[in-house]
Structure formats: structure tokens, C-alpha cells
Amino acid sequence: MTHLPIILVAAVAKNNVIGGGNTLLWRLSSDLKRFKALTWGKPLIMGRKTYDSIGLPLPGRETIVITRDRSFKAEGVHCAHSLEAALDLAEACARDLGAAEIIIAGGGEIYTQAIGGADRLEITRVNLEPEGDSYFPAIDPRKWTLAASERHLAGPGDEADFEFCVYEPRR
């Protein structure tokens, strides 16, 4: 059990889709910049499918991949066989990195398992409604409140308008 705050970071379409065919369904360079800023220097936990879709460890962060496959090996990443084990590993990585929080970076299966124990949700609402096969779980308004939001029109490199939303637990 980790004592550090657990932050879910995700880009979510209007229909809650986050991906399809094990890839992202939009190009949003503003969101990639925000993702980098939110995650830099911190441990990132992700599911094996999300790791496969990225294909390499993201620089400047420690990647922890969750898989049930006991033979999984990939250079430059840590591996865990449960969310609990991943959180323990992430806490140790955070200590080494001097990081104050742990990032959950997807995908749908991992967000769904992690949202119950999360301390903050950093959600980019993407103004699209693509067909996909991975979804962000419902954000229960009895548990979460929208603490901040910031709307943006699509800039260069963005396929759609978007809104940065920060959810915090209701007190």
C-alpha cells in the first residue's frame, strides 16, 4: 500500500473512449505536452497493452508495466503482476527519483482498477466522439468534484478542441 498520492492522467473523448485497436485515436500535441509536464520525473504505471502500444519506456520517468505474464521482459522498464505490487514498486521508484506522486497512465483496464484508490484525476476532455474499444471508467459525482477546468481551442498539431479538467475527491 503506497502512502503517496495516486494520480490518473488520461485523455477522454465525449463518449468516454480513450483508444481503439490498441492505439490513440487522435492527434493532440497540446495534450502530449501536458502529459509530459504532469509526469516528468515520476513513476508511471501502465497496463501491458498500453506499454505495447508505446513500445518503449518514456524518457525522464520510471515505467512500471502490469502484466499477468510471468515471462514478460522489456528493457528499461519494471514489471509487476498486480496493481498492488505495481504501487509498491512505484513507491520505491518515487523514493529514488525524489517524486511526490505516482502516475497511473492507462489504459482502460488499469484506470478501472485504480480509480477507487486515486487521489486526483487529470482528465483532458477531447471534443471528439470516435469509435473505440477502450473506455475511461465513470467518474462518480458522489466521490469526485471538478476542482479546475481550462478550455482550449485546437492549436497547431491538435485535431480537436479540448478541456483540461482536474477532479479531486469530495470532502
Ligand X SMILES: NC(=O)c1ccc[n+]([C@@H]2O[C@H](COP(=O)([O-])OP(=O)(O)OC[C@H]3O[C@@H](n4cnc5c(N)ncnc54)[C@H](OP(=O)(O)O)[C@@H]3O)[C@@H](O)[C@H]2O)c1
| 57 lies in the site for ligand X, by CB under 6 A | no
Least distance between ligand X and beta carbon 96 (Å): 23
User: Could you give the 3-state DSSP secondary structure of residue 47?
Assistant: strand
User: For residues 146 and 107, what is the distance between their CA atoms, to the nearest angstrom?
Assistant: 22
The residue (of 95 and 144) whose beta carbon lies closer to ligand X is 144
| 97 lies in the site for ligand X, by CB under 6 A | no
| 134 lies in the site for ligand X, by CB under 6 A | yes
Binding test (CB under 6 A) with ligand X, winner from 32, 77, 83, 139: 83
Count of residues that interact with ligand X, criterion CB under 6 A: 29
Calculate the CA dihedral of residues 71, 75, 76, 77 and round it to 10 degrees.
-20
| 81 lies in the site for ligand X, by CB under 6 A | yes
| 15 lies in the site for ligand X, by CB under 6 A | no
- How many residues are given for the chain? 171
The residue (of 34 and 99) whose beta carbon lies closer to ligand X is 34
Sequence-ordered alpha helix ranges (H) in the chain: 29-39, 48-54, 83-97, 108-114
Listing DSSP states for 104-132 in one string gives: E---HHHHHHHGGG-SEEEEEEES-----
Please report, as ranges, the residues that interact with ligand X according to CB under 6 A: 10-11, 18-20, 22-24, 46-50, 53, 66-69, 81-83, 105-110, 113, 134
